[in-house]
Structure 1
Amino acid sequence: MDDFSIPMNNGNVPPPAPPNFIRPGKRPLSSMTPTIILKDEKLRAVVGASGGAMIIAGTTEVVLNHLRGMDPLHSVLAPRVYHQLIPNVVQYENWTTPYGEHYEVPANVRTFLRRRGHVLQSLAGGSICQFIFVETSKKKKGRGELVGVSDPRKGGFPAGY
């Protein structure tokens, strides 16, 4: 029921969306953002995430990290920032998982954002992303091997055959 909008107005969250109010027989809107990446009409990668309102930003950041040259693992491991426009606050990851791994947006990035006038707030949590990438090599004559990266923020690990 949390994905439905509730008819109330709170200045700290985006305004409710009347088309998404709870009604019998309706399905809630969702932030699901399963993403399929193709190159030359061939599958290159699949990305998805959990994390409610942070799903879109988390998925987008993993994709952009990879397109900018990061390998699949570091694309997922990189600390993330989140902004929902209302309230006008940039949330950034600064947390240690129950498994002892720490994620924090670097100080120079936070300084840059503050200089640009952003209000920053640290966040102990965020989206959890899964990334499957097709690794190709000339040795295998263009045939790909699937590489799965499961976000360690939640203690996950890839499994398959």
Structure 2
Amino acid sequence: MLMEHLILLAMWLFGFIAFLLFIPRKEWRKGLLAFLMSQAVIWLCDMPSFKYGLLSAPVRELPKATDLPLTINYFFYPVLFAIYYVRYQPKSSLWYRFTYFFVWATGTTLFDIMLERYTDLLEYQLLTWYGMWIYIGFLNYVSQACCNWFYKDEALFQTDGRPS
């Protein structure tokens, strides 16, 4: 149990440091929107996943309050998505965008599998590793679509320095 709490603490530290290091300061607004959008999508999808037994979290921060792992799902994965979204290049080739998405979903899934296999932070009940890859890919895709929708017309968000 001590190892799991140390891993959760390390996720908080690495999450903050990664946000500061891998997202340029001028892109922090975009990163924060992606972070919050990812949290919202994960919340909507994880509530049924944990309630109906697809996933479980034996060791979690608030065991009497919720069945959800707060650090993993509501801090660390959204930080990873924020880095993904800010670094994403939408004007690149289709092959590059597909590879970028595939590699990012695979890396996140491999981290998730390591958490499931070697700790008590996550347990796959009815979900397999490839189901988790599809699930994480779906979460990233929906979060990315929502962020893209928000930034659809960037002219609305540009200011020319004059008061309106």
Global fold match (TM > 0.5)? no
Higher-helix-fraction structure:
2
Q: TM-score, normalised by structure 1?
A: 0.31
User: Which one scores higher on RCO, CA 8 angstroms, separation ≥ 6?
Assistant: 2
Q: TM-score, normalised by structure 2?
A: 0.30
Whichever of the two has the greater Rg, that structure is 1
Higher-strand-fraction structure:
1
